[in-house]
Every structure is written in C-alpha cells, then in structure tokens.
Structure 1
C-alpha cells in the first residue's frame, strides 16, 4: 500500500508520562490501523493534510481511489489548526481536508487555496468510555453530571479547543449542559481528535467526548462503549476541503473523488452526515 501516515511520532510523543506503555501501543494500533508500507511512494504522490477525525474513513476512501486509479497519495493526519499554521509557513500540501470550514475559509482569505472549497461531510460527536468505566453513558449527559456530583470523575478527555474543531464542539456540548466549569480540573486535552479518542479508552480516563467517526471501528468496540450526542447540542461541524494553488492532477482527481457517491457511502458508514448541497460557490 502506497500511503505515508505522518504526525504519528508527534502524537505519541505528546502523551503524558502517567499514561501507561500499553496505552501508547494501543494508540499506535488505532492511529496506524491501515499500517505502514515498505514499498516506496512515488515521488510525485501529492501530500494531503487531513483532520484526524476522518482518519478511518479517508483510509478506506484512499484505498478505493488507489485501486481504481493506480495513483498514490501521501496523507498526514492531525489537527486542522496545526495544518493551517504549517501551510501558512510553506508546508507543501496540495490539498487539505479540514474538520471545520472556518480553517479553509481562513486559508482562502489569505490566498492559500484555489477557491472556497467544498463541504464534504458534517461531523457528529459521541460520549464514550472504557468498558470498565463508572460513567453511565446517555445522550443527555445525566450520567456524566452524576459522576461529577459524586466526586468520582478524575479525568475526562476532549480534543484541544485551541486548534481542534471537535474540541470546540465538545466544549459547546459541555457548556450547553452546564458542565464545562465543573470539568476544568479533570480535563485531559488531546492534541487532536484521534489522540483524545485514545485517551478516552486507554483506561487513564473515565471517558470523553470524541468524534463519532473514530468510535465506529472494531478496535474501539473491543475496549469501549459510546452513545451518540444529539446534534442540537453543538454548532454544525461542516467539514470543508480545498485544493492548494500547487495542486497536481492527482490531487485534483482525489478532490473530485471525495465528492463521489463511492466516497460519500464510506463517509456515511463512519457516521458522518452529508450536506444537502456540498458545493459553496467560489467568489
């Protein structure tokens, strides 16, 4: 398989020392589930930045793309905010799939994209916990509130709201339920959505609010449980993608493929909603 998955070392290094070694191994199993390939990647394979929350869906979509076209891709997964900074400082990405349309809008306004791009998916959230957690999972977060009131919640994971859109949405949910202030002393912030998901099921937290797309996997089902959080509790997570000015033909073809019925079927499979109109007209 001709994919390169970057940022893995950066994510693993950011684990706090108190998390046991087994959790780090599990993190690698989750984040690199498709695996590394010893095969060389074509030098002209486009570098693509993708939000961590779409890792499993894009892995599958990229496999199908390669099978159908024979074209290789180099995909890096991480936080959307960090990718924006990298692109603004010259990172040679040819395409970005963001977890939030605001980051693509920011790049577009600064002249770093070919246009305003396309909304390719609408993200959803889940309240999740390890199987042995005392946290009772429910869509209204009553169980979480009770655990806080009982003084039994010591650690709770979300992605960092400073640069991860799913962290912003998790904060909105907790604020809507009046739990944000009470959770401040217990929050464990993941560098991105994938790391927050790892923290959630590592056994080092009682639970967390994470992307639905990252819990709909066999690996998660072995170790954790989840419940879908109502979309009404947070602002819609319109996930937008765009091509960079240096985009190659391969990147352009993948951009179009991400809008195909085949790709949309995979996105739906991983819990995403699809917008009724995915194209935002360019200026």
Structure 2
C-alpha cells in the first residue's frame, strides 16, 4: 500500500505503474483515468472529506468555529512584527486537499497576503507534519489526519466550513491490473464495516 498525493498517483497509473486499486481525494483524477482506458469502470465515491485548521496543542489560542482562520490572521500579525510563522498546506498543483486549502484562503481573502508564509507539502500527510513543526503556526489539512492517533495527542483543530471550498468527493476505482485481493478490498470498503471505519476518521458518505 502506497500513500501520496492523488495527482502524482494519477500520473503514475497513466504511465503504467503496477497499481491495482486507486483511492483518490479528487474524483476527477479517477474520471480522467477511466476516459484514458486505465480502469475497469468509473469507480465509486467512497467518502466525502473535510478540511481543518490544525496546529500544535497549546500553540496560541485555538481558532473557533466562528473564526476558523484566526491562526492565519495571527501569523499575518506576527509577520508585521518581523516574525515568520509558517502556514502549511499540501501543494495545490497535485494534491486535492491543497486545492481545498487554496480555495479556503481565497474565500477568506487570505491567499495573496499569505504568499510569503505558505509552506507546501508534497501531499497532505507531509503538510500535516509541517503544520505541527516548531516554526509553523499551523496548517490546513485533512480532518482524517487530525483524528489519526499519531497526530491527535499533540495537535488541536477546528473544522473549516464546507461551503468555503469545493466538495472533497473521494472516489476509488480498480485498475485494469486489479487482482482478487484488490477487488475484495474495494468491495469491503463499500460495505457497512468499511464505511464505519471511515466515519471514525471524519469521512462521510454520499
């Protein structure tokens, strides 16, 4: 099992990489592979993702539901006084959660002002690590990562309103190379047991 940005895996599959099952945080990548003839069908939506602002536990005041980007504003205020507190996000060029983060900052009028403060992760998992580093104020990352045991104990988060970015409709599909094990896992993820596990990590269904 490999983890990385959806865009990078989409490119690798198109180039013939030996992947059997592709789970993408952006359903458009799956659609493109299907249209190019690399998958068995159009796949299925397996989850809807959420975006959060995540920061180190105790790293200043936690933003509230009413002001989820207060951490961004705090970083901008620190910049004015000569201190750079980084804001982490996944690279929007190939990471769907990075696209959602950019859309969120644009919605709030914070995209251009934060240009010098942004640090980009190759994928959203790397962005989460950057968000919890000592020189970062925090970052915009996947809700599922904020709930992961490895990060949950040393972080705190607030959900970003879903209306601030395009829906994170996550689609999975079997490639033309899929065998029995990949097919069984694909089917299991659509069943109640698989969906229940996804819900514990902040995902919702269609």
Q: Give your verdict on TM over 0.5.
A: yes
Query: Could you say which residue in structure 2 is the equivalent of 1:184?
Result: 115
Residue by residue over 1:146-174, the C-alpha shift from the partner in whole angstroms, topping out at 9 and shown as x without a partner, is 44135355311000000000000000111
Query: Could you say which residue in structure 2 is the equivalent of 1:133?
Result: 59
Preserved CA contact (<8 Å) 2:62 2:157: no
Q: Distance in 1 between matches of 2:176 and 2:89?
A: 33
Preserved CA contact (<8 Å) 2:71 2:138: no
Q: Distance in 1 between matches of 2:183 and 2:153?
A: 37
Return 5+ residue gaps in structure 2 as ranges: none
1:91 correspondence with 2:40: no
- The secondary structure found in structure 1 opposite 2:112 is helix
Question: Which of 68, 71, 80 is residue 6 of structure 2 equivalent to?
Answer: 80
Residue by residue over 1:53-91, the C-alpha shift from the partner in whole angstroms, topping out at 9 and shown as x without a partner, is xxxxxxxxxxxxxxxxxxxxxx11111110011111110
1:145 correspondence with 2:73: yes
What displacement does 1:134 show? 3.2
Question: Which of 26, 36, 42 is residue 100 of structure 1 equivalent to?
Answer: 26
CA RMSD, 1 decimal: 1.4
Preserved CA contact (<8 Å) 2:39 2:174: yes
Preserved CA contact (<8 Å) 2:75 2:137: no
- The secondary structure found in structure 1 opposite 2:98 is helix
Aligned ranges for residues 266-277 of structure 1 at < 5 Å?
A: 266-275=197-206
Question: Which of 247, 258, 265 is residue 189 of structure 2 equivalent to?
Answer: 258
1:169 correspondence with 2:169: no
Q: Distance in 2 between matches of 1:121 and 1:210?
A: 16
Question: Which of 33, 48, 54 is residue 122 of structure 1 equivalent to?
Answer: 48
TM-score under structure 1 length normalisation: 0.68
- The secondary structure found in structure 2 opposite 1:203 is coil
Q: Distance in 1 between matches of 2:150 and 2:89?
A: 19
TM-score under structure 2 length normalisation: 0.92
What displacement does 1:94 show? 0.8
Q: Distance in 2 between matches of 1:234 and 1:142?
A: 17
What displacement does 1:112 show? 0.6
Preserved CA contact (<8 Å) 1:126 1:211: yes
Give the count of matched residue pairs.
201
1:235 correspondence with 2:166: yes
Q: Distance in 1 between matches of 2:143 and 2:56?
A: 15
